[in-house]
């Protein structure tokens, strides 16, 4: 084990116990987000109005923070401590460029996140680079491609529509 493996990620740091923990936390996170969906939507739009309606906005925010922290901790061995934030932020930013609703942004975030992880792991094994850095590069590339398509290609195809 080396410091660079923890900073930039390394699949060789994974063992069966770590993989089991990742699976359990992933299942817990998915079910929790599914159960909290309506409350999370309400508190993300207007937390004060959600509290007035009786939704425990503080509790939902705290639980969401705990879920996010658990996911970050499990990702550190694969992605690396420095690149975890890139994998959390970049797919969500990419999804916001094409998503029309809260639900579509959640779904697109999952699609872009999983795609960047799968292609990043594949490319890192083919090119012999760090897995975390390649996943971050793939996520950034997808962000750039979607951004270019949304801001350059679509206005050229539809000059009358304001997007």
Give residue-wise pLDDT tens across range 126-138: 998 877 888 889 9
Q: Is the pLDDT of residue 61 over 80?
A: yes
Q: Tell me: do 3 and 59 sit in the same domain.
A: yes
Distance CA 36, CA 140 (A): 29
Mean pLDDT across 74-95: 83
| pLDDT at res. 45 | 87
Q: Tell me: do 75 and 29 sit in the same domain.
A: yes
Q: Tell me: do 58 and 91 sit in the same domain.
A: no
Mean pLDDT across 132-156: 90
Q: Tell me: do 72 and 30 sit in the same domain.
A: yes
Which range (12-21, 42-51, 66-75, 98-107) has the least confidence? 12-21
Domains in the chain: how many in total?
2
| One-character DSSP codes across 60-104 | HHHHHHHHHHHHHHHHHHHH-TTTHHHHHHHHHHHHHHH-SSHHH
| pLDDT at res. 162 | 58
Q: Tell me: do 76 and 92 sit in the same domain.
A: no
| pLDDT at res. 102 | 87
Which range (7-16, 34-43, 86-95, 101-110) has the least confidence? 7-16
Q: Tell me: do 71 and 143 sit in the same domain.
A: no
Mean pLDDT across 76-92: 81
Q: Tell me: do 75 and 87 sit in the same domain.
A: no
Vertex 144, ends 141 and 147: CA angle to 5°? 150
| pLDDT at res. 74 | 83
| pLDDT at res. 130 | 77
**Domain endpoint, select from 51, 81, 111:** 81
Rounded to 5 degrees, what are φ and ψ at 9?
90, 145
Q: How many CA atoms lie within 13 A of 26 on its CB side?
A: 10
Q: Which DSSP letter does residue 39 get?
A: H
CB proximity list for 134: less than 8 A, separation 6 or greater: 120, 121, 123, 124, 127
Mean confidence (pLDDT) of the chain: 86
């Amino acid at each position: 084990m080396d410091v660079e493996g923890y900073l930039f990620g390394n699949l060789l740091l994974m063992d069966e116990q770590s993989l089991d923990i990742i699976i359990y936390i992933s299942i817990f996170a998915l079910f929790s987000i599914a159960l909290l969906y309506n409350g999370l939507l309400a508190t993300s739009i207007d937390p004060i109005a959600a509290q007035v309606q009786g939704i425990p906005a503080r509790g939902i925010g705290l639980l969401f923070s705990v879920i996010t922290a658990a996911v970050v901790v499990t990702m550190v061995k694969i992605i690396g401590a420095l690149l975890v934030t890139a994998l959390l932020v970049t797919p969500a930013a990419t999804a916001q460029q094409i998503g029309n609703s809260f639900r579509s942004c959640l779904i697109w975030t999952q699609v872009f996140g999983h795609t960047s992880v799968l292609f990043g792991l594949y490319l890192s094994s083919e090119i012999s680079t760090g897995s975390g850095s390649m996943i971050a590069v793939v996520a950034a590339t997808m962000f750039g491609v979607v951004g270019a398509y949304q801001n350059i290609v679509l206005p050229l195809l539809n000059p009358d529509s304001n997007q």
